[in-house]
Chain A
């Protein structure tokens, strides 16, 4: 791989070591996720040649959950990476731009309003994510080609706050409905099975290739909207494609697990810290690190408040928020 993009700044670690570390973290995270769960009698030693109930538990409940965590990490970190590059805003992420909350609003409307009872919840989530994205970008002036960074974040916060206020209204409804909505909107992957994994993969893997295809355009965005335009990459098209990919990845993720914040915000920054600014490398690396973060969060979610499982979205926030704070205070790329 050439170093033609040194202008983006190289990472701090030798690349081989960094990739090796990331893979080691991913692999250990996967083991952690597989070794923990509702049955205390199925653990690490059962992962090799499991039989009887241990085999059933691992193949039918823990493996799909492990893959779901992996794909959710991939989807959300790619959404964040693409949004940060396409909007040239280091704060951009599915949660900050309101996509997560929009998807959650879509879900809640689907659960609460009889009008939408025939519409599959995943469609409601996707429509909600797209809708929130479109409104946020319209507020920021993104569709006119002159996106205002500050207006983007403010617009996203406003759209997110509005959507989530509507979602929280549903919490006050009667118990069973409120519990359903809370379960949907807290970021929860307990009892995930293979069909949900297939759905995540169906969107996530094409999303990964689409992000790779878009990576050169994302690199050009870093030069500035005018320069990108001059080099033949219309920034509005990059933004539109990026938003579509990010909204699709976010929408499918929310439809499976509910909104999970911080993955999309934190992981791209960690990847840039380790690997520099070339998006042709950042795309696969962010996917890898996002997956690793989610796998660890899944493992922790099962042991933190055992025997009751903590929602994975809460655990991600517990890991992601302090990291983001550290990044804000000490790292250069947010200053």
Chain B
């Protein structure tokens, strides 16, 4: 017998990681999905913002849907939604971002017996180059139909069934949980708030010389007083650390720019590890100083 589990821990610490760069966004990738508020009551409206990274200027189809999983693995939404639009939102990204507003269904009240009970709803955000994913076309077609097609419901409950046939680098699916409860507003979780502190972080565009370093500083506050971690991402270069703990409401992140010139984007996701998120996102330009 060999301690495979401990060796697995070693692997998780970085052994055998190869060329994997955890702060790099390559290809199409849904970077974050922020729900405001991150916990809501039935019939409450929730604003969902999706950030997407992409390697070029192509427009992306972006699809957002929810699934409240039942014991048999199906989504409760298939039972109470009368139209696909109530369940799924389709759109196109604008500068790597899409926003939509959804109302928590009234039926969710039936799942909640007490104020302390929390129902976990799974949110899914999927991005794909425009008109290149059949699932988007199928959902669009389903939106023209009345009612919920059972086959479509199965696909939304188990996205791996169609994701397995799509190219890994050209599509992206992100999932996260979302809490539905009857808790009073003062008791629910809230998103952290992050403000960039240094001048370059406040600029609409971050400019750095090839091989240079960008110093990003933030003031981060969590309304619930929870510990917040920063997860920086970039399309060019790399951050020193994948995960940085916010201490005393301050955090600094250092981006090592690549040696080549280029244009891209930087994101920093502030995560209270309880569903609360904030996202900082700015364009990034790597450019040699003139002269």
Q: Do A and B bind each other?
A: no
Task: State the A residues within 8 Å of B (CB).
Answer: none
